[in-house]
């Protein structure tokens, strides 16, 4: 298995390299001048702009700039944005916040989604099943910004039950945004669990387990759910990356200073190094999550081996 993990990690290198090259080209080929963007609608002073362009190698060809960037990253230096801020500092401030938000969303969708799916599957065709099917349909069809704004207005403004915006000193302010962020995936997971669970509960080994006289909860959890979890874990793995990258709308609504807003701002101001660095880390998260998922298969189904 060690060899398998190493091979997977080695595979990540060309992926990362390809992603950064592509991103670098895309960001820096965008029309617009990052130095002028800093000055807003006022014209940047030509002298100062020229000095800044020199300072940030903006006059050099793209491949050369990419090389400067890459060699910096290899030594652990992500460079600075065009206002002189260290990109690593920007990332160390924003990533933990988004990670917390995504973590809460992940927890909500995994726990609530799986539990709802299991109950729906067990009581197939009954009231609970219909309730789960209907409510998940509703969740899937409401866009995140509508759900976020409505919940914020109703729970936060009208009923004043929860704070509207993020407060660094109070981590509970992340719960509502976490629920909003996880809501769509929650619906998918509930439905996925339901289908998968119905499938496994019909299989021979479940019947055998029941015939052996095992208790009902043990049959459901150890024999049914465990096998039903494989497609769900796959989905959750991919979704962790998507949650971090997709937090942009939720972060804006609830004023969470995470990577979503930073990325938006960086694209807007043509802060190329910031964009490339953040997205590269996101790619890393995707790769790690996928590796984790593949390794988890073996936990769920011992027949799966890695070579």
Partner 1 sequence: MRGAKSAKWVAGAIVVALAATACGGGGSEGKGGGARQVVMELGEPQNGLIPSNTYESEGSEVMNALFTGLVKYDEKNEAQLDLASSIETKDSKVWTIKLKDGYTFHNGEPVTAQSFADAWNYGANQANTQETNPLYNKIDGYADLNPGEGKKPATDKMKGLKVVDEKTLEVTLTAPFSAFKTMLGFNAFFPLPKAFFKDPKGFETAPIGNGMLKMDGKFVRNQQIKTVKYDKHPEAKQLKIAGVTFKIYSSQDTAYRDLLGGRVDIMDTIPTSAMTTASKDLGDRYIQGTDSGVGYIGFPLKYNKAYAKPEIRKAISQAIDRKAITEKIFVNTRTPADDFINPLVPGYRKGACGPACDYDPAAAKKAFDAAGGLPGNKMELGYNADGGHKEWITAVAGQLEKNLGVTVTVKPFEQFQAILNDLGDKKYSGAFRLAWSMDYPHAENYLRPIFSEDAIEHGSNYSGYVNPQVEKLLDQGDTATTEDAAVKAYQQADDILLKEMPYVPVYFYKLNAGLSKNLKPGVRIDNMTQIDWTTVNPA
Among 13, 18, 26, 33, which residue interacts with partner 1 (rule: CB under 8 A)? 33
98 vs 136, beta carbon nearer partner 1 = 98
Per CB under 8 A, the segment of 9-17, 113-121, 163-171, 272-280 that binds partner 1 is: 163-171
Residue 111 in the binding site for partner 1 (CB under 8 A): no
Kindly state whether residue 288 participates in binding partner 1, applying the rule CB under 8 A: yes
Say how many residues touch partner 1, by CB under 8 A.
67
Within 225-284, which residues bind partner 1 (CB under 8 A)? 251-255, 257, 261-262, 265, 268
Is 147 among the residues that bind partner 1 (CB under 8 A)?
A: no
CA pseudo-torsion sign 51, 35, 25, 257: positive
Where in 182-221 is the site for partner 1 (CB under 8 A)? none
170 touches partner 1 by CB under 8 A: yes
- Angstrom distance (rounded) from CA 120 to CA 220: 13
Task: Answer yes or no whether residue 142 interacts with partner 1 by CB under 8 A.
Answer: no
Per CB under 8 A, 54 contacts partner 1? yes
Return the residue of 133, 140, 142, 295 that touches partner 1, per CB under 8 A: 295
Q: How far is the CB of 92 from partner 1 (least distance, A)?
A: 11
Instruction: Provide the binding-site residues for partner 1, judged by CB under 8 A.
Output: 1-2, 5, 31-33, 36-43, 45-48, 50-52, 54-55, 83-85, 90, 93-94, 96, 99-100, 103, 149, 152-153, 156-157, 160, 163-165, 168-171, 251-255, 257, 261-262, 265, 268, 288, 292, 295-299, 302, 304-306
């Amino acid at each position: 298995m060690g060899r398998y993990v190493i091979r997977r990690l080695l595979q990540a290198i060309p992926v990362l390299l390809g992603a950064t090259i592509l991103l670098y080209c895309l960001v820096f080929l965008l029309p617009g001048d990052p130095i002028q963007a800093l000055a807003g609608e006022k014209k940047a002073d030509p002298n100062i702009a020229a000095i800044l362009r020199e300072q940030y190698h903006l006059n050099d060809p793209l491949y050369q700039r990419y090389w400067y960037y890459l060699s910096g990253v290899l030594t652990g230096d992500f460079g600075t944005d065009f206002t002189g801020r260290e990109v690593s500092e920007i990332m160390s401030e924003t990533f933990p916040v988004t990670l917390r938000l995504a973590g809460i969303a992940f927890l909500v969708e995994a726990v609530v989604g799986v539990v709802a799916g299991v109950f729906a599957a067990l009581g197939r065709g009954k009231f609970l099943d219909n309730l789960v099917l209907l409510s998940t349909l509703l969740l899937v069809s409401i866009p995140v910004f509508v759900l976020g704004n409505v919940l914020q207005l109703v729970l936060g403004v009208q009923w004043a039950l929860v704070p509207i915006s993020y407060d660094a000193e109070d981590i509970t302010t992340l719960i509502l945004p976490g629920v909003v962020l996880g809501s769509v995936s929650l619906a998918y997971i509930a439905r996925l669990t339901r289908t998968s669970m119905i499938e496994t509960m019909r299989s021979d080994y479940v019947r055998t387990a029941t015939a052996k006289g095992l208790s009902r909860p043990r049959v459901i959890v150890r024999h049914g759910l465990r096998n039903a979890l494989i497609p769900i874990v796959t989905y959750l793995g991919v979704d962790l990356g998507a949650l971090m990258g997709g937090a942009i709308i939720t972060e804006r609504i609830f004023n969470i200073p995470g990577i979503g807003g930073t990325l938006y701002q960086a694209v807007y101001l043509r802060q190329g190094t910031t964009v490339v660095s953040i997205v590269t880390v996101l790619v890393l998260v995707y790769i790690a999550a996928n590796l984790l998922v593949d390794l988890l298969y073996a936990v769920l189904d011992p027949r799966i081996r890695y070579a």
